[in-house]
Chains A and B, each alone.
Chain A
Amino acid sequence: MEFGSINPVLLVASLMVASTPILLAAIGELIAEKSGVLNLGVEGMMIVGAVTGFIVAVQTGSPFLGFVAAAAGAAVLAFLFAVLVLFFLSNQVATGLGLTLFGLGISALMGQGYVGIRPPASPRWDFFGLSELPVVGPILFNQHPLVYLSLILVAATWYVLRSTRMGLVLRAVGESHDAAHALGYSVHGTRIAAILFGGACAGLGGAFLSLVIVPQWTDGMTAGRGWIALAIVVFASWRPWRVLLGAYLFGGVTVLQLNLQAAGIAIPVELLSMSPYLITILVLVIISSDRNRAALNAPASLGRAFHASH
């Protein structure tokens, strides 16, 4: 095999870009799951974020407003999920699936007149010319603002969950909603906030895809990234830094396979295209085969409905 045509520095820089949608979605889902809610609608929220962000950015000409709208749009969808799951006590797995199916439909509907349009470019940051530095320049100092935001979110999530009151309440609600309720914490309030945060993050991730990475709108463009984000949360055993690792691992595989496709290596294109999914499955198998370790960090109330009877 010949790797000569692949530049390792650019590979790392583009890896970070390719991973960002999944990283954002996964960190949002991590918060939702830590509060005890399994939201399988990540894919649906991402694609709705992708389309709302795209439409608003094209209409206003401002990528920033596009990202804000993407977060808001996906949060609206997440709110629907929250109402169904928390107040109508519906099955979380089924509702999450419904969210994905509905999101895919509604996004295709919304995005109709927008196929084939180019969105306004959103520039990458350049720290006082530091991007000119060899190796570290393109990787650390010349990325899109959202790439930095995603990294800040990982650190913030880690800090909040570990050492703030808010994080402790969130974890308490996720571990035992009955006990948290008895202590006077608002189970529903915490979970709504967590679900909305998860939705907003997924929406940002989707918009990053449609406004920066591709940048275009096509139906179903998230292509399973929402599901991979879900898998990464399991892979990370609900730890923020491991989410980062998982997302970058996935991004690395994606970028590498695209580079290999472009380099014309004698591996069938389809095999390369399916490799991110296959590797996600493989990683899931490895992580879950150790029964004790996999279950250790899972929120104990994950997926269970809460109904205060008194």
Chain B
Amino acid sequence: MIHLEKRPTPSPLWSYLTPLIAVVATMIAGGLMFALLGKDPVVAIRTIFWDPIFGEFAFYYRGQLLVKAGPLILIAIGLSLGFRAGIWNIGAEGQYIMGAVFGAAVGLAFYPMEARWLVFPLMILGGALGGFLWAMIPGILRTRFNTNEILVSLLLVYVAEQILASMSLGLLRNPDGAGFPGSRNLRQYESAANNELIAGWGMHWGVVAAFIAVIFAYIMLSRHVMGFNVRLTGESPRAAKFAGVNPNRLILFCLGTSGALAGLAGLFEVAGPAGQISIDFNVGYGFTAIIVAFLGRLHPIGILLAGLLMALTYIGGEAAQASLGLPAAAIQAFQGMLLFFLLAFDVFTNFRLRLGREIST
């Protein structure tokens, strides 16, 4: 008989190994899935994971890597704080939308003013505020009324999507757009555009913000008392209570931070790669960021790497779509698979396999 035995302390080796094994297992299972779809699995995996970085068109894809990784990392860093403390904000997608709507609204309000030094920072503030306020709804409902933040934050995604639709058809619609839905293109508005900082790198202000967030989160978690409180609450809520951690303040802090970061990601996206508020502006970064956070083991550096890897699956997926006719949905299923394997192999961090009969204690 095989059985699991609890380790006295979590294994550090396994906590590093798990994500790697999960990625390999996903490649194998994903390869099987691609084979079932009638594609050559080896070619498909190579197209997704290898060609975008080392292949013929790598010069194009490498830039895309940061464009996709930026929002994922930014959102996942925020989410990881809450996940560590057992506070589940799964509505980052909604906060991302609201950040974009708020930020774009600020930018469009100033149109066509030319003071970039004023407009762009205000937009950033607006974006962060939009996400923050949207995350405060589940936060305050949780702390005041004890309402489950998982459900509220998720349900608010659907509300945010309706607001997005309303905005792109109504209030924020381009007055010169001949009645088409969607706002003015912010990339064509000099003061509000979030363009590439170095041509061809994909590096825009959102990516810079993501790197800053990684550094701040790292310092906070390892050096600052707030980070200590977050970790303490996650590992032992009771101990945290005795140590004088105010649970309500912690909930609001985690939700507020993750909301503000998701809002920022939304703003940088709408002012940069996306360009405008439109009905189909959101593409699920807020949900994929959940996978990124777990794949990065809720650790800032891990999230940085996981965000890049997940961005790779996005770009590689697009490439495979173009060259192999692999359906777009296959990549989504692939990403979900990755989370499954990760969670499954995680058991070996806290348990070890034992062969033979169980010894009664």
Contact = CB atoms under 8 A, between A and B. Distances in A.
* A and B are partners in one complex rather than unrelated chains: yes
Interface of A: 40, 80, 84, 88-91, 93-95, 97-99, 101-109, 112, 219, 223-224, 227-228, 230-231, 234, 268, 270-271, 273-274, 277-278, 280-281, 284-285, 288-289, 291, 294, 307, 309-310
Contact of A281 (B155, B334, B336, B337): B155
Interface string B143-169: 011111011101111110011011000
Nearest to A286: B145
Q: Which of B83, B88, B147 has the most CB of A within 10 A?
A: B147
Contacts of B6: 307, 309
Contacts of A284: 141, 147-148, 151-152
Contact of B147 (A106, A219, A289): A289
Given A94-B343, A270-B166, A101 B146 contact: no
B201 interface: no
Contacts of B361: 309-310
Given A89-B351, A102-B340, A105-B335, A273 B151 contact: no
Interface in B326-361: 327-337, 339-340, 343-347, 350-351, 358, 360-361
A228 B156 CA distance: 11
A88 to B, nearest CB: 4
B43 interface: no
Contacts of B337: 102
Given A224-B158, A231-B155, A281-B156, A105 B333 contact: yes
Given A89-B351, A97-B90, A105-B333, A224 B155 contact: yes
B146 A294 contact: yes
B165 A280 contact: no
B290 interface: yes
Contacts of A102: 333, 336-337, 339-340
A285 to B, nearest CB: 5
A207 B165 CA distance: 28
Main SS class of interface, A:
helix
Give the size category of B's interface with A: 35 or more
A284 B261 CA distance: 27
B96 interface: no
Contact of B347 (A88, A106, A234): A88
Interface string B255-291: 0000000000000000000000000000000011011
B32 to A, nearest CB: 13
Contacts of B154: 224, 227
B146 A230 contact: no
Contacts of B90: 97
Given A281-B155, A307-B6, A108 B329 contact: yes
B148 A234 contact: yes
A101 B329 contact: no
B322 interface: no
8 contacts: A88-B343, A98-B336, A101-B332, A102-B340, A103-B336, A105-B329, A105-B336, A106-B333
B155 A98 contact: no
Contacts of B148: 231, 234, 284, 288
A95 B361 CA distance: 31
Contacts of A219: 329
Contacts of A274: 158-159, 162-163
Interface in B10-46: 37
Given A93-B150, A285-B141, A84 B333 contact: no
Given A105-B332, A285-B145, A90 B343 contact: yes
Nearest to B5: A309
Contacts of B290: 97, 101
A109 B33 CA distance: 10
Given A90-B344, A284-B147, A288-B146, A223 B158 contact: yes
B162 A270 contact: yes
Contacts of A281: 141, 147, 151-152, 155-156
Nearest to B165: A270
Nearest to B329: A108
Contacts of A99: 336
Contact of A90 (B83, B150, B336, B347): B347
A90 B351 CA distance: 11
Contacts of B288: 101
A285 B340 contact: no
Contacts of B150: 40, 93
A294 B147 CA distance: 10
Contacts of A107: 329
A88 B332 contact: no
B152 A98 contact: no
A280 B343 CA distance: 30
